């Protein structure tokens, strides 16, 4: 980051956005972040508690669809870049309620792009040269891979299979169009499955840790052999900062952890770590149970992250073994954080998906 950089971060109280805000403010003493988050179920101000009195962090509760608010924030704070995390992001929720995904991921991204375009047009030549709009997306836009298929690259055709991935694919296309049509200096990243501290416990890893410690079943969809590429969240945040600083305008960068694992292996690894770090009267693996597979469940995702390594010099620092141990240790040390976010609505959602 250059001196006196200001970022407008959307969704900065969520899992990846919150980790990015914490990491980047700690790493860059001259950085200032305007953090816009709607604080839906997955947004959590507790994640940002350490920044409560930090003058370099300005939190604003608001909606990216509120163009008047976004334009006001841009004109008041004069950001050098927008880093766009804000999204509805869980496949299961998109199956039961796709409307919010269309509104936030498509309409919200469109509204944010329009606000950024208006702001960009007002900048002087030097500020325009420095400005960036970085859109954070997912590998799920590429669809599903067979067991022997090559991993996704930046040129893999889009083939989304869920309302969530379809809405993210649409937002990716909008970002691309605003670069090619209007000259907006955009960058897009497509990441694999993230894990780590502060993840809302609807996703696989924190859900299994929470259920294991609570003595509840560990529900696994289908045969448990759906494969994902796992990326430690702090590595992902470092990659985003690298793309923001060095990425070629208009380009897409795939970010992965080089860790393809089936879901069943992930859960068994978690049980082994919990047996070691928080032993109970019997192995946590005895709580594993299988439930009916979800509709349209993609079989395999895998990211080819050679482009970002080749062009920008980024590689993940954490192996899966080091990252998952850090993650389990964090959740064991921060049970209050998880307990505070597991609301009645969350319990109803778990019952709906895993009954």
Among all residues, which ones are annotated catalytic? 139-140, 164
Strand ranges inside the chain, DSSP E: 6-10, 32-37, 57-61, 81-84, 132-138, 186-191, 193-195, 218-221, 227-232, 252-255, 260-262, 288-291
Which has the closest alpha carbon to 208: 320, 287, 294, 322? 287
**Rounded to an integer, what distance in angstroms lies between the CA atom of residue 187 and that of residue 130?**
13
The CA-CA-CA angle for residues 346, 321, 197, to 5°, reads: 35
Pairing of strands 186-191, 252-255: parallel
148 vs 146: CA distance, rounded Å:
6
The secondary structure of residue 200, as a DSSP letter, is -
Tell me the torsion sign for CA atoms 293, 256, 81, 124. Answer: negative
Element holding 92 (H helix, E strand) = helix 91-96
Closest CA to 135 of 93, 88, 176: 176
**Residue 182 in tokens:** 């209007």
- Strands 193-195 and 227-232, how do they pair? parallel
Rounded distance between C-alpha atoms, residue 1 and residue 12, angstroms = 18
Q: Is the distance from CB of 41 to CB of 345 less than 8 angstroms?
A: yes
- Alpha-carbon distance 163 to 159, whole Å? 12
Could you identify the residue written with the tokens 């200096």? 185
């Amino acid at each position: 980051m250059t001196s006196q950089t200001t970022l407008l971060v959307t969704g900065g109280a969520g899992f990846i956005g919150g980790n990015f805000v914490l990491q980047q403010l700690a790493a860059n003493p001259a950085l200032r972040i305007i953090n816009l988050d709607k604080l839906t179920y997955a947004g959590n101000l507790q994640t940002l508690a350490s920044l409560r009195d930090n003058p370099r962090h300005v939190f604003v509760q608001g909606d990216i669809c509120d163009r008047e608010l976004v334009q006001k924030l841009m004109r008041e704070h004069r950001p050098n870049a927008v880093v766009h995390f804000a999204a509805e992001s869980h496949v299961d929720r998109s199956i039961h309620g796709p409307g919010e995904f269309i509104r936030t991921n498509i309409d919200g991204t469109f509204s944010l792009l329009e606000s950024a375009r208006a702001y960009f047009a007002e900048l002087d030549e030097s500020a325009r040269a420095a400005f960036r709009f970085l859109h954070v997306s997912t590998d799920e836009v590429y669809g599903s891979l067979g067991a022997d298929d090559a991993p996704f690259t930046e040129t893999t055709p889009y083939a989304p299979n869920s309302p969530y991935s379809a809405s993210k694919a649409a937002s990716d296309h909008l970002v691309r169009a605003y670069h090619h049509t209007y000259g907006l200096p955009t960058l897009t990243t497509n990441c694999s499955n993230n894990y780590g501290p502060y993840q809302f416990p609807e996703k696989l890893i924190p859900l299994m840790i929470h259920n294991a410690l609570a003595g509840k079943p560990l529900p696994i969809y289908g045969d448990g052999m759906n494969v994902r590429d796992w990326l430690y969240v702090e590595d992902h945040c470092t990659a985003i900062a690298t793309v923001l600083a060095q990425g070629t305008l208009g380009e897409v960068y795939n970010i992965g952890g080089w860790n393809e694992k089936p879901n069943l292996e992930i859960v068994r690894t978690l049980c082994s770590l919990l047996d070691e770090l928080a032993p109970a009267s019997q192995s946590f693996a005895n709580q594993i149970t299988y439930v009916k597979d979800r509709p349209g469940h993609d079989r395999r995702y895998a990211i080819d992250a050679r482009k970002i390594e080749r062009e920008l010099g980024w590689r993940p620092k954490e192996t899966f073994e080091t990252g998952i141990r850090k993650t389990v240790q964090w959740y064991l040390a921060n049970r209050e954080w998880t307990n505070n976010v597991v609301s009645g609505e969350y319990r109803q959602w778990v019952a709906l998906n895993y009954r």
